[in-house]
Chain A
Amino acid sequence: MRREASVGIAWAALLVVLAFAAPGFFSAGNLRDLLLANVSTLLAASGMTLVILAGEIDISIGSMFAVLAVVAGITARAGAPMPLAALTAAGAGALLGAANGGLVAGLRIPSIVVTLATMILGRNALNWATGGAWIENLPANFQWFGLGQTAGEIFILTLAAVLVVALAWVLKNIAAARAVYATGAAAESARLAGIPVRRVVFWVFVSMGAMTGLAAVLDAVRFREVQSNAGVGLELKAIAAVVVGGASITGGRGTLLGTGLGVGLLASIGPALTFLHISPSWEKAIQGAIILASIVIDFARGAEAKKNG
């Protein structure tokens, strides 16, 4: 059975239980809140899928997310129209990603170390620059892109869905994505097949940065001000979703469908507990157990495949 299928079945089972035990979970209001609250995780996890497929990791996206939300806020406050503010955030994200990617691919420093450094650097530079203050007095066109709440919500969800579906299509159908898979599965073989693996790694980080920028914008426009301490722990949520979705943490295997299902499963745990009247303090423990289970299954299968291979 494909890994995506098992994640999907687990999630579906949870939803079925909820349908009987707590139909309130499926109220329009709850579903809308659930989706909106997880748009940023979904986009970040999509970018993270690319990074992990290439055999790398990026733990700087949480602090990058905060920096880029502030960038979007400041750009909007300076009078830029919202599409421009969004593109600025995505572009700034691509630049930050290029810094990560340049260090990883150019100097061959392990990505966990590079992004650990840029994570700390980003968060503290932002603290210093804003003094911890939020970005206030945003123009009226900032919140919900000036569309009003209902239309704004629909717009955000649609845009996120389009982005993820487009990226899923790219991952399957574009030659460059195949190079990402090959790099993550066997970097040396890929290099000897003539694939420019360092360029692949560089661009994967750039994409991750751009996705983080878009995630930051779509998240920030839900509010009237931009918090300067957003995105704490986003990197862990994204990595968890990718792993639960069946991607190999060592690279080379995984799909965006799996990642989407992973985000859905993990994000449903918290609200499900509330509706089932179980203490919410179980949320992290259950999520942790799911992550552990998927990794154990993965490695057990890997060992199995090796034995049979």
Chain B
Amino acid sequence: MPPLLAASAVTKSYGGVRALRHVDFELHSGEIHALVGENGAGKSTLIRIFAGAAQADSGEVRFQGQPVTLRDPLTAKALGIAVIYQQPALFGELTVAENIGLALESGGLWRRIDWKQRRRVVRELLSQLESTIDPERRAATLSMPEQQTVEIAKSLGAQARVLILDEPTASLSEREVTALFGVLRQLRRRGVGMIYVSHRLEELPEIADRVTVLRDGETVETRPMTEVDRATLIRMMVGRDIEAVFPKREVPLGKIVLETRGLTCPAAGVNNVSITVRAGEIVGLSGLVGAGRTELAEVLFGLHRPSAGSILLRGNVVSVTSPAGAVRLGIAYVPEDRRRHGLVMPMSVAENVALAQLATVPGLRTLDFRSETSNAQDYTARFAIKTSSVATPVQTLSGGNQQKVCLARWLTAAPSVLILDEPTQGVDIGAKAEIHRLMSDLAAGGMAILMISSELPEILGMSDRIYVMRSGAVAGQLRRSEATQERLLALALGEEGAAA
């Protein structure tokens, strides 16, 4: 019998960046197939291709042995492929019954709704899942596991043949996980094939039949779950050499510039974080996506108020209540999404470089266009920013050059603490090396740098010291000399007995 769903030699690039390279994957009916890999290994891209949300550049997707073109999510849905994303996408203002009904009922927009029938169907689906959710509750009032249950009920009702679950247990308690696994086993008995994406390696032996490891967009191996243990999996996930050469220089470290003591902010999901960053030090902040790294940076930059704990600058407790306040204190933050959060796209290179200065000096002063221009020209030369002139709008620049403009802006404001969130994401190799060299220069100049990165080689190559975060807290700390990809990943995944 041919596999239920299969991909062979699937390749996909996003704007020059290879996300998947000749990936092979097979899912049988009645199988729970785990899909694991580091951040950026290509799991999400593969899921998106199966879901019809992205199209492969080359390669083939087969459903029950037949090649299929998953043009859009509707096509995938019609074949019986259902995806449950980490963040369920329910209509918050509609009730549970309405959410499920909308997904299942056919007949077009002008059909008459049979409310009695709808309620009966919904109640039956929920009871199959042994759920006690009231079908009349508004979806916005549901907890995360309840929302997932509703999503599963939807796919159950749609007679899904393939169910793709993206980190379904990330926000569930132990008891809820047990309940979810019960549901999944029930679906397995009915012959549903499931792709199970999870970072919780410890739960895989309990639920998965086979496991496929992706690394850097390629299939490493598919093995029966009983044959691999946790250590083997981790080795398969990271097994690569650090190819890039990182221009990290050894710099004598100065006094502690930034320190947090028990910093806690439930709204941002940051829990009891104590870290230090010294002058001249590059501190890496590692962890899985969603571990609270960006959120910690946002608390440090005044975007969220901490509920407990304190932030200290050069030993003095400071209160950071807004980004403007943070900038005045000398804290700079280069956000991950520079298009949306970093730069003012229609403004020129020179104006963007001068932007942070606006916050540090009184507003009612005349602008000095000449110094603005010459300062921007200095930076474009120093950082090798490729732009026709400093009067060019930044939206016409490439990603790497935009990132350098962002850096130039903060250096103009002369901060003492620089927080970089994924500084080289989506940046080409050349610009990446230049950004790394810049970071080294800045640290040598005495700046305290906190760098968030999902790229393990970058973390290992650039950091003097590394904090690994997990579930909003610091899971462990590693010195440059003792850090390896395996240890970082083990801490990030929450392995027992890891160095703390």
- A residues bordering B, Cβ < 8 Å? 173-176, 178-179, 181-182, 185-186, 188-196, 252-253, 305, 309
B396 on the A face (CB < 8 A) = yes
With A173-B366, A174-B365, A309-B396 as contacts: A192 and B346 at CB distance below 8 Å: no
With A182-B344, A189-B344, A190-B355 as contacts: A174 and B395 at CB distance below 8 Å: no
Q: Is the CB of A192 within 8 A of B323?
A: yes
With A175-B365, A181-B347, A188-B340 as contacts: A196 and B359 at CB distance below 8 Å: yes
Q: Is the CB of B324 within 8 A of A194?
A: yes
B361 on the A face (CB < 8 A) = yes
Q: Is the CB of B345 within 8 A of A185?
A: yes
Q: Across the interface, which residues of B come within 8 angstroms of A186, CB to CB? A: 340, 343-345
B15 on the A face (CB < 8 A) = no
With A179-B358, A192-B341, A195-B358 as contacts: A185 and B346 at CB distance below 8 Å: yes
Q: Is the CB of A193 within 8 A of B347?
A: no
Q: Across the interface, which residues of A come within 8 angstroms of B355, CB to CB? A: 178, 182, 190, 193, 195
Cα distance, A182 to B352, chains bound together (Å): 9
Cα distance, A188 to B354, chains bound together (Å): 17
Number of interface residues of B (CB under 8 A): 35
Cα distance, A182 to B413, chains bound together (Å): 17
What string of 1s and 0s marks CB contacts (under 8 Å) between B296-314 and chain A?
Answer: 0000010000000000000
Q: Is the CB of B343 within 8 A of A189?
A: yes
B340, B341, B346, B366: the one within 8 Å of A174 (CB): B366
Cα distance, A286 to B439, chains bound together (Å): 58
A173, A192, A194, A305: the one within 8 Å of B335 (CB): A192
Instruction: List the 7 closest pairs (A to B, CB-CB), nearest first.
Output: A194-B327, A194-B359, A176-B363, A193-B355, A196-B324, A186-B344, A194-B324
Q: Across the interface, which residues of A come within 8 angstroms of B413, CB to CB? A: 194
Q: Across the interface, which residues of B come within 8 angstroms of A305, CB to CB? A: 395
Cα distance, A248 to B430, chains bound together (Å): 36
Q: Across the interface, which residues of A come within 8 angstroms of B363, CB to CB? A: 174-176, 179
Q: Is the CB of B395 within 8 A of A309?
A: yes
Cα distance, A194 to B332, chains bound together (Å): 9
A182, A194, A195: the one within 8 Å of B326 (CB): A194
B323, B347, B362: the one within 8 Å of A182 (CB): B347
Q: Across the interface, which residues of B come within 8 angstroms of A176, CB to CB? A: 363-364
Interface centre among B347, B351, B360 (most CB of A within 10 A): B347
Q: Considering only CB atoms, which chain B residue lies closest to A189 in the complex? A: B344
Additional 14 contacts, C-beta under 8 A, given A182-B344, A185-B346, A194-B324: A174-B367, A178-B358, A182-B355, A188-B340, A189-B340, A189-B343, A191-B324, A192-B301, A192-B341, A193-B323, A194-B327, A194-B328, A194-B358, A196-B324
Q: Is the CB of B361 within 8 A of A175?
A: yes
Distance between B86 CB and nearest chain A CB, rounded to angstroms: 23
Q: Across the interface, which residues of B come within 8 angstroms of A196, CB to CB? A: 322, 324, 359
Q: Is the CB of A193 within 8 A of B365?
A: no
A174, A181, A188, A191: the one within 8 Å of B364 (CB): A174
Cα distance, A178 to B361, chains bound together (Å): 13
Interface centre among B344, B365, B413 (most CB of A within 10 A): B344
B409 on the A face (CB < 8 A) = yes
Contacting residues of chain B (366-415) with chain A, CB-CB under 8 angstroms = 366-367, 395-396, 409, 413
Q: Is the CB of A189 within 8 A of B341?
A: yes
Cα distance, A176 to B357, chains bound together (Å): 11
B191 on the A face (CB < 8 A) = no
Cα distance, A208 to B360, chains bound together (Å): 26
Q: Across the interface, which residues of B come within 8 angstroms of A191, CB to CB? A: 323-324
Q: Is the CB of B367 within 8 A of A173?
A: yes
Q: Is the CB of B344 within 8 A of A175?
A: no
Q: Across the interface, which residues of A come within 8 angstroms of B301, CB to CB? A: 192
Distance between B303 CB and nearest chain A CB, rounded to angstroms: 8
Contacting residues of chain B (281-325) with chain A, CB-CB under 8 angstroms = 301, 322-324
With A192-B323, A196-B322 as contacts: A185 and B347 at CB distance below 8 Å: yes
B342 on the A face (CB < 8 A) = yes
Q: Is the CB of B351 within 8 A of A178?
A: yes
B467 on the A face (CB < 8 A) = no
B83 on the A face (CB < 8 A) = no
Q: Considering only CB atoms, which chain B residue lies closest to A302 in the complex? A: B346
Cα distance, A253 to B395, chains bound together (Å): 14
B63 on the A face (CB < 8 A) = no
Q: Is the CB of B358 within 8 A of A185?
A: no
With A175-B358, A195-B359, A309-B396 as contacts: A190 and B344 at CB distance below 8 Å: yes
Interface centre among A174, A179, A193 (most CB of B within 10 A): A193
Interface centre among A196, A252, A309 (most CB of B within 10 A): A196
Cα distance, A179 to B351, chains bound together (Å): 10
B333 on the A face (CB < 8 A) = yes
A173, A175, A178, A194: the one within 8 Å of B323 (CB): A194
With A174-B364, A175-B363, A175-B364 as contacts: A192 and B324 at CB distance below 8 Å: no
Q: Across the interface, which residues of A come within 8 angstroms of B201, CB to CB? A: none
Contacting residues of chain B (4-48) with chain A, CB-CB under 8 angstroms = none
B418 on the A face (CB < 8 A) = no
Q: Is the CB of B344 within 8 A of A185?
A: yes
Q: Considering only CB atoms, which chain A residue lies closest to B340 in the complex? A: A188
Q: Across the interface, which residues of B come within 8 angstroms of A193, CB to CB? A: 323, 327, 344, 355-356, 358-359, 409
Q: Across the interface, which residues of B come within 8 angstroms of A175, CB to CB? A: 358, 361-367
Distance between A190 CB and nearest chain B CB, rounded to angstroms: 6
Q: Is the CB of A189 within 8 A of B342?
A: yes
Q: Considering only CB atoms, which chain A residue lies closest to B365 in the complex? A: A175
Q: Across the interface, which residues of A come within 8 angstroms of B395, CB to CB? A: 305, 309
Distance between B375 CB and nearest chain A CB, rounded to angstroms: 14
